[in-house]
Amino acid sequence: EDQVTQSPEALRLQEGESSSLNCSYTVSGLRGLFWYRQDPGKGPEFLFTLYSAGEEKEKERLKATLTKKESFLHITAPKPEDSATYLCAVRPGPDTGRRALTFGSGTRLQVQP
Amino acid sequence: DSGVTQTPKHLITATGQRVTLRCSPRSGDLSVYWYQQSLDQGLQFLIQYYNGEERAKGNILERFSAQQFPDLHSELNLSSLELGDSALYFCASSVGRLAGEEDTQYFGPGTRLTVL
């Protein structure tokens, strides 16, 4: 069974204080690891897809990295508008016949001015 | 704006009733996925359709059913509603092929269902 564990559950940062969110996963033949941002009461907003260990992707103040067991979402010099819940999800390999994403419980990030 | 639309935004109903949630995927996307998000369980996959056919099933209750129509919009039907069915229901869509970025699922704004 695919499992995704995110830590910490909640994180409070001061504006400009960089940090990292962790996503540990267990999946049969990783097809893709996805990061989403979710604001309260809204749908998840796609951020990144990572496909293989060593891959990195960046977007503004966010950088996602991937190893064989975990992914990190690094937030550099965050701003209050970065406050949201960040979700990590995995998709198993095609040999499993499973196509759905398995999501972690998310990290609630609050950035204070 | 992801390009995925869902209606209605909010739905309030009573136990035992039946409701229908509607989803229109992004232009060109053939796959539609339904997810349930409740406070204590996070995002849970319910069911996937690809070009009108059921492709995968998750933890979907027998009281729930879905279909995808020829114009690719999808409907999720929830019947004999219980208090515990109160949640956010999201639809996501993707191109549906396995390769590359086309794997990515884009989510709609959701329907908030409240069962009283």
Tens digit of each residue's pLDDT (9 = 90 or more) over B73-102: 999 999 999 999 999 999 999 986 655 545
What would the two tokens of residue A37 be?
A: 């941002």
- CA A28/CA B57 separation, integer angstroms: 18
A74–chain B nearest CA distance, Å: 21
Maximum pairwise Cα distance, chain B = 43
Using CA of residue A109, residue B41, residue B53, residue A31, what is the dihedral sign?
positive
- CA B22/CA A107 separation, integer angstroms: 29
What would the two tokens of residue A24 be?
A: 């540990």
Interface contact A45-B90, CB threshold 8 A: no
The mean per-residue pLDDT over the stretch A62-86 comes to 97
A46: exposed, middle or buried (C-beta count within 10 Å: 0-12, 13-18, 19+)?
Answer: middle
Q: What are the phi and psi torsion angles at A27 (to 5°)?
A: -155, 150
Nearest to B2 by CA among B110, B112, B111, B107: B107
Interface contact B98-A100, CB threshold 8 A: no
Give contacts of A 52-81 with B, CB under 8 A.
none
Q: Which residues of chain B have pLDDT under 70?
A: 96-102
pLDDT bin (cut points 50, 70, 90) of residue A4 is very high
A3–chain B nearest CA distance, Å: 12
The mean per-residue pLDDT over the stretch A34-49 comes to 95
Q: What confidence score (pLDDT) does residue B98 get?
A: 53
Give the nearest chain B residue to A44 (CA atoms). B107
Chain A contact set for B104 (CB, 8 A): 32, 34, 46, 49
Using CA of residue A99, residue A32, residue A106, residue A15, what is the dihedral sign?
negative
Is any Cβ of chain A less than 8 angstroms from the Cβ of B54?
no
- CA A50/CA A8 separation, integer angstroms: 21
Express each pLDDT in A20-30 by its tens digit: 999 999 988 88
